[in-house]
Amino acid sequence: MSTSKLLARLDAYEKLIRLDKPIGILLLLWPTLWGLWLAGGGVPQWLALWIFIVGTVLMRSAGCAINDFADRKFDLQVERTKNRPLATGVIEPWEALAVAAVLAAVAFAMVLKLNRLTVILAVVALILAVAYPFTKRFLAIPQAWLGVAFGFGIPMSFAALQGVVPPLGWALLAAHVLWTIAYDTEYAMVDRADDVRLGIKTSALLFGKHDVLAVMTCYALFLLAMLFIGIWQGYGPFYTGGLLVASVIAGYHYRLIRNRTREGCFKAFLHNNWLGAAIFAGIVLDQWKR
């Protein structure tokens, strides 16, 4: 194989697992880091931190390959996704499955260095990730499933560092689901016309003309849930400050999505990286000051 063909092949694999679009990694990583810092009462054990960060990258990449395998016939008919390597035939379906299997196996091998409960939860996380692309066929709001899948690093973090998952871990996961519904509805609003035509179920279609209201309501409920968690756990002003910054960011998203333009909705979706980062910064400062 010539150098040019090899580079083109590597580029196709990079696009398959979305390393060229890291927003998915960040949205998966932020809640995991929230869990690690809160479970560890500050900077977590370095081995656990390393395993969770690398595992997040590997599992998000594996999830993208599985998603493209499941949606390969749909992607070709959607403007935003028609050039994905699996949809165009540059990569064969079996290759996508092989890539996903290898990445998931490496991530699981890393988790084996942690305790038994974390390993069990890792199996559950894998099942959630594999099933998610197919939920768009039958669940009216697959974003809720995605919220559990993307947030499962939270209970895993508590399991790894404390050996149990306390009520705090599950409360954070529940709050995270609300955030995911908000940002992934923004994402679904971009493809609304294509999803109607293809018969794919999304929260944007479920909410209909009330989609903007639903997004902002989910943001509000998420931030209120995080505030109540902070009060319940006795977190300090830095934690609350992070939530206030996140609230301002969520308010800015209203300006981006209120006219329902593709560009505005997609920009709002991408901008959720900063919302997750603001909350993480508040958690880090709060735990450091304790």
Q: How do residues 39-68 score in pLDDT, each as one tens digit? A: 999 889 899 999 999 999 999 999 999 999
61 residue type, one letter = S
Report the residue count for the chain.
Answer: 290
Listed residue (212, 283, 279) closest to 246, CA to CA: 279
Query: Over 70: is that where the pLDDT of 21 sits?
Result: yes
Res. 2 pLDDT band, cuts 50 70 90: low
Question: Check: CATH 2.40.30.20 for 11-289?
Answer: no
pTM of the model: 0.94
For residue 209, the 8-state DSSP code is: G
Task: Write down the pLDDT at residue 1.
Answer: 58
Query: Over 90: is that where the pLDDT of 36 sits?
Result: yes
Residue 281 burial (CB < 10 Å; 0-12/13-18/19+)?
middle
Phi/psi-derived region of residue 200, left when phi > 0, alpha when psi is between -120 and 50, beta in every other case: beta
The answer to whether 172 and 31 have CB atoms below 8 angstroms apart is: yes
- Domain ranges for the chain, please list them: 11-289
Q: What is the pLDDT of residues 126-176, one digit of tens each?
A: 999 999 999 988 899 999 999 999 999 999 999 999 999 999 999 999 999
The answer to whether 182 and 257 have CB atoms below 8 angstroms apart is: no
Angle at CA of residue 68, ends 25 and 2, nearest 5°: 90
Residues 130 and 97: their CA atoms lie apart, in Å, by 11
Which residue is listed with tokens 């493809």?
191
